[in-house]
Structure 1
Amino acid sequence: MNTKHYAHWPPGLPYQLIAPATSVYQNLHISTLRYPDKPALIFYDSILTYRQLNDEVLALAGYLQQVCGVKKGDRVLLNMQNSVQFVISFYAILRADAMVVPVNPMLMKDELVHYVDDSGAKAAIVAQEVLPRLIGLLKPSHLQHIIVSTYSDYLISETSLTVPEFVRAPADVPQQAGIVAWKNALAANLAPTEHGAGPDDLACMPYTSGTTGHPKGCIHTHSSVMFNIAASPVWTGAAVPNQVALAVLPFFHVTGMQSVMNVTIYCGGTLVILPRWDRDVAGQLITRYAVTNWTLVPSMMIDFLSNPRLEQYNISKLTRVSGGGAAMPAAIAQKLLDLTGQVYMEGYGLSETMAPSHVNPPQRMKQQCLGIPVFNVDARVVDPATGKEVAQGEQGEIWIHGPQVFKGYWNDPKKTEDAFAELDGKRFFRSGDLGYIDEDGFFFFTDRLKRMINASGFKVWPAEVESMMYQHPAIQDCCIIGTHDEYRGETVKAVIVKKANATLTDEDIMFWAHRKMAAYKVPRVVEFVDALPKSATGKVMWRTLQEQELSKKKI
């Protein structure tokens, strides 16, 4: 085990951390006891206190148990945008001793069939706009109950903020067997049974797409979910109830769920909820509520800092800006530093690790860097072919052993077996991500195991080229993919979004790139587009672009 990173460990903190041996729901219960009248959630200027939040959690948990028949270990789908109802639903499912199955609200009916069938969920809590895609999946022997939320139910105060139409939409829930409106479920005011879930019981099952086949459910217990909830605020020094977090990363994704929603509730802080990214509303909320913590993906910050109205917003109260999923371009990180004095804190994690396994130490943050393994984590860089550790500085697959690692893939023992390997007597999760460790023990990401471009025998890692391309002053967004080349077999293609009013040609790009990187990395093909395809979490969907390119002519 490489321990060089201990020289850069956050001062005063132990290498090992003891996490609470309680259920995740207990975090809300304890914060309610401590701060009953403190704002827990702010939704377009409407406020819910901790006491109100917990009361509604208990009412919904009672309905799930007494009407929907949800029992310990049952799975409940949760399918909606960031909202008051998402937070209530998440904790109500846990309070009912059941397992949360968070679902991307952008998924269509044919995609949702797999989530319903594979998880075996008997109940679902969904947003009104999602209902038409799930209503046909009600089955007497399977999915039997759907609770339908209407976002506008929680718009209880006047607001000058721009509220999207889908949030303002009035209630429109059909009268049909198996379907109940959110308000009616809570109005029943049914009390839940005594809370029985413990650290080893099922808690949450996010699905991960992987590279092939159907999405796979990642099995997490209260213990694996709890560890990062407890560890993250200790690592960052933000374990205080004064924190105000802008909650714009999707809660259905582990980063938004853990690093924003669950950590804030654990600390007794306030969540300022934004269902979808809007740079102007984000700026207004940061200003209005003196937001201190903002976890994001780089595309959000790129858009936020390019806003011509940026100077109208007061972002001086930000004390931590962090994220992951992709490296923050150096030029954007520098602009953030110049404006706020904040160094962007990068981290690394997956659905299988319930958010971070690596984070940059607050006092020693490297840019475009995953950071170092956090408390209790043993991480290695291993040759995926031999299963042996590579030398410092050499590239290999990142393997992770720690308390936040999932138990396996739901209903898929073969993929579970393939996802783990033994090294030095420990069971490691094979991340499928390639990286290396520098001389200080910091981890760096190079690319996905299957994303490498082979140009005449030279290995090109797209993420590295993308990072360099962002240094071009006229590039707004960029994705690097492989394309067919008669001579080289495969070569580098850049799909680029130009900044507004920028004049740029493919020859300009190639000439510029030749001065910045080795010739074999230079894009030989350039395509300009209006926008790159992105997931709900703001990540560039490089696989979509790569598949489109492959469909033109097989590489």
Structure 2
Amino acid sequence: MSLQSAAPSSIAVAPAPADRPHWRSWPRHVPRAIPLPATSLWHNLEVSARRYPDKPALDFLGEQVSYARLREQAEALAGWLRKRAGVARGDRVLLMMQNSPQFVIAFYAIMRADAIVVPVNPMSRADELGHYIADPEARVAICATDVAGQLALGNAQLPPEERLRTMLVTRYSDCLPRDIDPVHRPPQAWLEWLYAAPPLPDGAHAWQDALAEALAPAPHLSSAEDLVAICYTSGTTGRSKGCMHTHRSIGHNTIAGTVWTNGSAADVSLGAVPMFHITGMQYAVHGPIWTGATNVLMPRWDRDLAGRLISHHRVNTWTNIPTMIIDLLGSPRLDEFDLSSLVYIGGGGAAMPQAVAERLEQQFGLRYAEGYGLTETAAPSHGNPPSAPKRQCLGVPFIGTDARIVDPDTLNELGPGQTGEIVIHGPQLFKGYWRRPADTEAVFFDLDGKRFFRTGDLGHMDEDGYFFITDRLKRMINASGFKVWPAEVETMLFRHPAVLEACIIGTRDAYRGESVKAVVVLRSEARAGTREEDIITWAREHMAAYKVPREVEFVDALPKSGSGKVMWRMLQEQEAQRRDGG
């Protein structure tokens, strides 16, 4: 497959048709479409480094990296990749580490070398990592010391001809202050991990040594139409597929995301969403660099550290996942934090419980703006207007995006209020799955002369053009002929005062075919006095009988992917195994 995209040469994009109902709700300050960028993402750093050379681009637990230093180190690393690691234009380079300045530097260095970034979840284990090396045919990897051992093990399991030939390894302490002050100090358990300096795997190269060579890179040749990243989907069954994105598809949403939130160089953002994930990549890597903002980085999530960072740095914009908000609001130190600087707060990946959104608005005056997107759509395809968000809602089609609801069998368009599959057309769409033409063909179809992507998510649109998700196509419980949508039941359970988190799955029932089961994490103060029957009794009072969980299981935590999404399929599979006696 060509490393060039099939994108048209035009730099304009047509928005959704003029008769779509969401235009009535469109925010006045936002254009319906924006010109498509004609430059690579590297150009954004080049401009911001010239415009704001001494301004902090990143703050990592108190250590600041200016825009000039960010560009300088990315160029030095690009020179090393070309001249020492043998990276050529179009080569794929693995990038695997937690949020840190090194992630940003490495991402832009790979781009500067005209290569393609393959971001990998740092929680991946050796048995999983072989796929991320072999499938994109990567021969070079940049990683942190905490994952280098697993990466080396995964590499060793591959046939010699499929293995990495070079690993560049950084220690997080390479970009940390020698002493972290109390405001920025992470949990004590993190310090050993952050400052760890284990021996490098055999044959690996040290980050600081590569930078010290200060090798000049070759001229930058990538255009907006070249591939910039292959982002692997986070499926829980089967092998992940690589989504091919160009500088233009990612670049469109980089610009559109900041336009949507009225972003500027005066912004201070909190980079808490994992950068390997498409949402973190857009809002904690590319977006701030496009505007010249300052990004305060968190290597991992910790609610009290987040509260202190927001307070100290006067963070005004924060894209997150709802589980972070739930956790922060549950902190016993919440009263110590000053969240008054926050102007924009929103995100996606999971539905924001209405009860939590109400508390956020009542206590802090913040209206949570939910969004929706996938790896295939370079993050947002939908967003709630920050000035007029609806709760439990994906929002309206994003800038330059045409989204519809169609019958999943006939692919005919459905009207407001009708449930069907959400399909998307827009400039942020990926170019296909890496070397999987059949899978690519299966998720695209033509409607009204446009190429639409099938999301596999069920939802409906209201009369105002706002979209609401119902569930995945296959995530439906059939209880005695009644269709139960788990997301709806989960939303209602969040209103129970003892429930911190909940995941609804189906369990086999000899009489009803399927029954509803709730896997619940209780709030710490409610664990001693709450019984499973209490949840069921409450549910009977608050929802239709066929939706009431017949079983409740208390757990300490729900399994989550690296991007923070609840892995409901894993729980469903475990339930099936339990029923089968496995």
For the aligned pair, the TM-score class normalised by the smaller chain equals: over 0.9
CA distance in 2, matches of 1:379, 1:306: 36
TM-superposed CA distance for 1:260, in Å, is 2.5
Which of 554, 558, 565 is residue 539 of structure 1 equivalent to? 565
1:43 aligns with 2:60: yes
* Number of the residue aligned with 1:155: 176
| Matched residue type, 2:151 | L
After superposing the two structures, state which structure 1 stretch, 382-391 or 507-516, moved more: 507-516
TM-superposed CA distance for 1:141, in Å, is 6.1
TM-superposed CA distance for 1:525, in Å, is 0.8
TM-superposed CA distance for 1:431, in Å, is 0.3
CA distance in 2, matches of 1:554, 1:373: 43
CA distance in 2, matches of 1:250, 1:175: 25
TM-superposed CA distance for 1:166, in Å, is 5.1
Q: Is the 8 A contact 1:45 1:157 kept in 2?
A: no
What is the 5 A alignment of 1:488-499? 488-499=512-523
TM-superposed CA distance for 1:553, in Å, is 2.2
* Number of the residue aligned with 1:32: 49
1:506 aligns with 2:523: no
Q: Is the 8 A contact 1:152 1:167 kept in 2?
A: no
CA distance in 2, matches of 1:176, 1:144: 11
TM-superposed CA distance for 1:261, in Å, is 1.8
* Number of the residue aligned with 1:113: 130
* Number of the residue aligned with 2:9: none
| Matched residue type, 2:271 | A
* Number of the residue aligned with 1:99: 116
1:182 aligns with 2:203: no
TM-score by length of 2: 0.93
Deviation per CA, 1:170-226, whole angstroms, max 9, x where unpaired? 43343733x101001111111111110001101011100346420000000111010
For structure 1, the 5+ residue unaligned runs are: none
After superposing the two structures, state which structure 1 stretch, 211-220 or 472-481, moved more: 211-220
CA distance in 2, matches of 1:341, 1:106: 35
What is the 5 A alignment of 1:254-333? 254-333=278-357
TM-score by length of 1: 0.97
Q: Is the 8 A contact 1:79 1:130 kept in 2?
A: yes
* Number of the residue aligned with 1:201: 226
After superposing the two structures, state which structure 1 stretch, 156-165 or 474-483, moved more: 156-165
| Matched residue type, 2:312 | R
After superposing the two structures, state which structure 1 stretch, 276-285 or 494-503, moved more: 494-503
Deviation per CA, 1:405-427, whole angstroms, max 9, x where unpaired? 00000111111111111111211
TM-superposed CA distance for 1:14, in Å, is 2.5
After superposing the two structures, state which structure 1 stretch, 11-20 or 272-281, moved more: 11-20
CA distance in 2, matches of 1:129, 1:211: 24
1:521 aligns with 2:521: no
2:517 partner SS:
strand
Q: Do the aligned partners of residues 184 and 414 (structure 1) sit closer, same or farther apart at CA in structure 2, a change above 3 Å counting?
A: same
What is the 5 A alignment of 1:438-517? 438-502=462-526, 503-517=529-543
TM-superposed CA distance for 1:507, in Å, is 2.1
| Matched residue type, 1:4 | P
After superposing the two structures, state which structure 1 stretch, 132-141 or 342-351, moved more: 132-141
TM-superposed CA distance for 1:73, in Å, is 1.0
Which of 381, 399, 415 is residue 357 of structure 1 equivalent to? 381
TM-superposed CA distance for 1:20, in Å, is 2.1
TM-superposed CA distance for 1:142, in Å, is 4.4
CA distance in 1, matches of 2:462, 2:196: 54
CA distance in 1, matches of 2:577, 2:227: 41
Deviation per CA, 1:255-295, whole angstroms, max 9, x where unpaired? 11102321111110011110111111111111111111111
CA distance in 2, matches of 1:375, 1:168: 39
Identity %: 53
| Matched residue type, 1:419 | V
| Matched residue type, 2:441 | E
Deviation per CA, 1:477-529, whole angstroms, max 9, x where unpaired? 10100001111010100011111231222222222112211111111111111
* Number of the residue aligned with 2:438: 414
CA distance in 1, matches of 2:29, 2:255: 17
Q: Would you say how many aligned residue pairs link Structure 1 and Structure 2? A: 553
| Matched residue type, 2:474 | K
Q: Is the 8 A contact 1:245 1:269 kept in 2?
A: yes
Q: Is the 8 A contact 2:236 2:567 kept in 1?
A: no
| Matched residue type, 2:554 | F
Deviation per CA, 1:305-329, whole angstroms, max 9, x where unpaired? 0111111111110111111011111
For structure 2, the 5+ residue unaligned runs are: 1-16
| Matched residue type, 1:156 | P
What is the 5 A alignment of 1:54-133? 54-133=71-150
Deviation per CA, 1:368-411, whole angstroms, max 9, x where unpaired? 10000012111111111111112211111100000000000011
Q: Do the aligned partners of residues 441 and 458 (structure 1) sit closer, same or farther apart at CA in structure 2, a change above 3 Å counting?
A: same
Q: Is the 8 A contact 2:506 2:515 kept in 1?
A: yes
CA distance in 2, matches of 1:39, 1:195: 25
1:171 aligns with 2:188: no
TM-superposed CA distance for 1:158, in Å, is 2.9
Q: Is the 8 A contact 1:45 1:158 kept in 2?
A: no
